[in-house]
Amino acid sequence: MKVLSYPKFSYPSFWNGYAWCDVDVYHLAPVVLVVLRDQGDHEGTSVTNAIEIVARKVRAELLAPEGLEGLETYWVHWSRADGVASVVSFADKECFEGPQWHYLSPAEFQKILAAFEAPDPLEAWFREGALDVERWEESIQIHRSHREHN
């Protein structure tokens, strides 16, 4: 179930000022799902490049006040620029260091949201232009192909 939705959540940009992303938090005891949606007009450092900073700030400012900071948390990052959604895991879950991205297909992303009893926000995201399924699936194929050749 969705606990909160925070559009334009700001975080420090690497060069100056702040950037922003949309954040949705879902909670289904004892697990939390945080969805970070990096928009094309984030006005600074992308979530991809600042994931550690964003995760720390989300924990401190959104999860902690809701009493969710100590629970097992899954992080999903949607990059509008790359057209890809990923589960992000951290080698150090306490300090949010050593991030690794695991690409999701649209069906996998919908399955994760359904597991958290989330209403399907993908349709709304398609309408607002935040998601493009064809580009998303094409990006996944490119990323997987690149990994296979390296």
- pLDDT of 142 strictly over 60: no
Backbone torsion region of residue 36, taken as left when φ is above 0, otherwise alpha when ψ lies between -120 and 50, otherwise beta: beta
For the chain, state the CA radius of gyration: 15
Position with higher pLDDT, 103 vs 130? 103
What's the pLDDT tens digit per position in 4-57? 889 899 999 988 889 999 999 999 888 999 999 887 776 788 898 999 999 999
Burial code (b: 16+ CB inside 10 Å, e: under 16) for 36-65 equals: bbbbeebebbbbbebbbbbbebbbeebbee
The domain locations on the chain are 2-149
- pLDDT of 105 strictly over 80: yes
What's the pLDDT tens digit per position in 12-21? 998 888 999 9
What average pLDDT is seen over the chain?
Answer: 81
Most confident of 1-5, 47-51, 144-148: 47-51
Ranges of H-type helices in 63-121: 106-115
pTM for the predicted model, two decimal places: 0.79
Measured CA to CA, the distance from residue 3 to residue 145 in angstroms comes to: 37
Query: Residues with Cβ < 8 Å from 4, sequence gap 6 or more?
Result: 23, 24, 25, 62, 66
Measured CA to CA, the distance from residue 133 to residue 107 in angstroms comes to: 10
Lookup result for tokens 């992000």: 88
Choose the weakest-confidence range: 37-46, 91-100, 104-113, 136-145: 136-145
